[in-house]
Amino acid sequence: MASLLFRQARVFDGESVHTDYDVLVVDGKIAQLGSAIEAPADAEIIEAHGKTLLPGLIDSHTHAKPPALEMALTFGVTTELDMFSDPAWMTEQRREAQTRNSMADVRSAMTGASVAGGHPTGLVGVVFDKQCPVLENAEDAEAFVAARVAEGADYFKLVIEDGTILGHEVPRLSDEMVYALVAAAHAQGLMAVAHAMTVELALLAIRAGVDGLMHVAGDRLMTDEEVAEVAQSGIFVVPTLSTMASVYGDKHGQHLAEDDRTRPLLSDAWAENLCQCWHLTNPGSTANVIDATRRLYEAGVDVLAGSDAVTVGVPGTAHGVSMHGELELLVDCGLSPAAALRAATLLPAKRFSLDDRGRIAPGLQADLVLVDGDPTTDVRQTLSIEGVWRRGEQAPRIGQAEGVGTASAASAVAG
């Protein structure tokens, strides 16, 4: 593999900004960064003055049904963190991602924990091909988690959903099950993360000891005491603002579908999907989610960027594209553009123990995105992509195949 030298770029290294910096990539890894680096004889020179070099983006909440990972990479997402998908899909995709640099890398919870008739068991054909295993009682928690370890799960996902936000009641994991599952996951060495879309269920998850919340609830405003409790717990949150906006009937993705920088790279089906939203009868609002995210961030909670993109038919999102909308919404929550970028690079790498990525530093994997302009002052510039590299190899930026799985998606919200 030839060396790469990015010359005179503005470099956001995951923490801070450096101007007129060179970055040298050798054998798929960052070799050196600084001023006036001498180019190796075999180096490809990329003149980057006026452009910004970013670490590859990490989407901290997706459901990576093919062709999700190819699509993600097109838009600068070099790693997806899958939060409940068919283990057969995920095993094959993880295997492919080890050798193919034309798709994003992926980590997965594999099968998440739910109960018979609970969310998301109604999404057969969307999140998985056949009905997934469910938990019957708290005594089975240890065996359930062990089965996820056998599937190859990188972390453990609990779905604590009573249907409040779906607009209809569904069975959920009991409190006893939640406590038992979190304890079993930690005993197996897995981080435990939870889907919880109401404040009360989020607090249940926190009190049970989860490491992260994969949504920020918007059914009501959080009290100051509740915000303090979340902050004191030390957990992280992934607000999934794009999805929560869709859940509350807001078409936040429409402007992304109509952007000249994205539309040529989107199929008609994915563009239409971005322009849609859920039509549910539920308490709360997008404004509540934004308010909670702002206050949690101000209280010192680590906020990570994640889209909850699934597939065509689950409205409001698209793989890769929606991460850019998520960054915009994080800025609306009071994060600076640089802090929003950290939420998509440094912080998920730290929280999910992805020690070889998330920053631009010597020895780390050369997952990189070059954009025109300065997204550290205007985060909307992340969509002005000049090139994407995974492990030092430039990725193709091509339109994607039509999505699949529209039939059953309209009955429930993705996890």
Tokens of 321: 């594209």
**What pLDDT does residue 21 have?**
97
State the amino acid at position 304 in one-letter form: L
Other Cβ atoms closer than 10 A to 99: 7
Q: Is the peptide bond before 67 cis (omega within 30 degrees of 0)?
A: yes
If the chain, 415 residues long, is cut into consecutive pieces of 10 residues, what is the mean pLDDT of each piece?
Answer: 94 98 98 95 96 99 94 98 93 94 97 94 66 93 98 98 94 98 99 99 99 99 99 99 96 95 95 95 96 99 98 94 98 99 99 99 99 98 98 83 39 45
pTM of the model: 0.95
Give me the pLDDT at residue 1, please.
78
